């Protein structure tokens, strides 16, 4: 009975675990590009930390901006001084718990009967005989319906904006979203930066 309970518990918890793992593995990205802009004119850039006087966020964003610079350099952009840069790059990073809805679903619960030997009494040519046989195990399927429910997940949102250094008008913006965990937030943010820039920045 204990084994069956553990098996049932595993089946019920598996979809929630799979849902969370799918979120952890997936990074969703979006971007907007100002029409008519030639990014070849903005190959020199500088980064601007907008975290303000908050020491923790300022240091965190400085680290993430370093990875932005590294990723852009690998794509042919070059970091310059504030005076020489044609583009300014800023970053906004938000992290925290968020409630998401897991939709209703149905899960199969599969079990098997035990095989057994049995005997049957019958008549053959008018004589009463006893026949022996074996009934093999049978598969039994039952279904468990689970209602929809809400679960707290650690949500990451990262936005990178690129401005014209002369008039400070935005020329490109990209956003990445991901479900993570507090301990993995910075490492996952680095992955978000790499994917966002590689897939969306010209």
Which has the higher per-residue pLDDT, 58 or 24? 58
**Residue 184: pLDDT above 50?**
yes
**Residue 146: pLDDT above 80?**
yes
Two tokens, residue 6? 């553990």
**Residue 17: pLDDT above 80?**
no
Task: Write out pLDDT tens, residues 66-113.
Answer: 999 999 999 999 999 999 999 999 999 999 998 889 899 998 899 999
Task: Give the DSSP letter of residue 83.
Answer: T
- Strand ranges for the chain from DSSP E: 27-33, 44-48, 78-79, 87-102, 105-112, 116-124, 127-135, 139-146, 149-164, 170-180
Give me the phi and psi of 35, to 5 degrees please: -60, 140
Domain-wise residue ranges, the chain: 28-103+150-200, 106-145
| pLDDT tier, 129 (very low <50, low <70, confident <90, very high otherwise) | confident
Residue 52: the pLDDT is: 73
Determine what percent of the chain is predicted with pLDDT higher than 70: 87
36-44: average pLDDT: 92
Residue 53: the pLDDT is: 67
Dihedral-angle region of residue 21 (phi above 0 means left; psi in -120 to 50 means alpha; beta otherwise): alpha
Quick one: which of 133, 141, 130 has its CA closest to 116?
133
Burial class (CB in 10 A: 0-12, 13-18, 19+), 27: buried
In sequence order, the 6+-apart residues with CB closer than 8 A to the CB of 160 are 68, 89, 90, 91, 173, 174, 175, 193, 196, 197
Quick one: which of 111, 115, 114 has its CA closest to 141?
111
15-42: average pLDDT: 73
Residue 100: the pLDDT is: 84
The neighbour count for residue 193, using CB atoms within 10 Å, is: 26
Say how far residue 132 (Cα) sits from the centre of its chain: 58
Quick one: which of 10, 21, 27, 12 has its CA closest to 196?
27
Residue 57: the pLDDT is: 87
Q: What is the mean pLDDT of the chain?
A: 85
> How many residues are recorded in the chain?
202
| pLDDT tier, 22 (very low <50, low <70, confident <90, very high otherwise) | very low
Q: Which CATH number fits domain 28-103+150-200: 3.30.160.670, 3.90.45.10, 3.30.1600.10, 3.40.309.10?
A: 3.30.160.670
pTM of the model: 0.67
**Residue 3: pLDDT above 80?**
no
Determine what percent of the chain is predicted with pLDDT higher than 90: 62
Per-residue burial over 42-69, b if 16 or more Cβ lie within 10 Å, else e, is beebbbbeebeeeeeeeebbeebbebbb
**Residue 21: pLDDT above 70?**
no
Residue 120: the pLDDT is: 79
């Amino acid at each position: 009975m204990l084994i069956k309970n553990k098996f049932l518990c595993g089946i019920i918890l598996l979809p929630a675990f799979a849902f969370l793992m799918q979120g952890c593995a997936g990074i969703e990205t979006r971007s907007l590009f100002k029409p008519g802009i030639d990014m070849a004119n903005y190959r020199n850039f500088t980064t601007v930390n907008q975290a303000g006087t908050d020491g923790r966020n300022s240091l965190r964003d400085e680290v993430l901006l370093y990875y932005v610079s590294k990723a852009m350099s690998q794509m042919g952009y070059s970091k310059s001084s504030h005076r020489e840069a044609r583009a300014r790059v800023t970053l906004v990073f938000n992290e925290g718990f968020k409630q998401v809805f897991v939709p209703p679903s149905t899960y199969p619960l599969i079990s098997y009967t035990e095989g057994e030997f049995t005997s049957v009494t019958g008549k053959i040519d008018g004589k009463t005989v006893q026949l022996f046989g074996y009934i093999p195990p049978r598969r039994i399927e039952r279904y468990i319906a689970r209602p929809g429910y809400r679960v707290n997940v650690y949500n990451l949102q990262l936005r990178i904006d690129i401005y014209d250094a002369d008039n400070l008008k935005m020329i490109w913006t990209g956003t990445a979203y991901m479900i993570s965990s507090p301990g993995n937030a910075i490492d996952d943010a680095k992955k978000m930066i790499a994917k966002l820039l590689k897939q969306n920045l010209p």
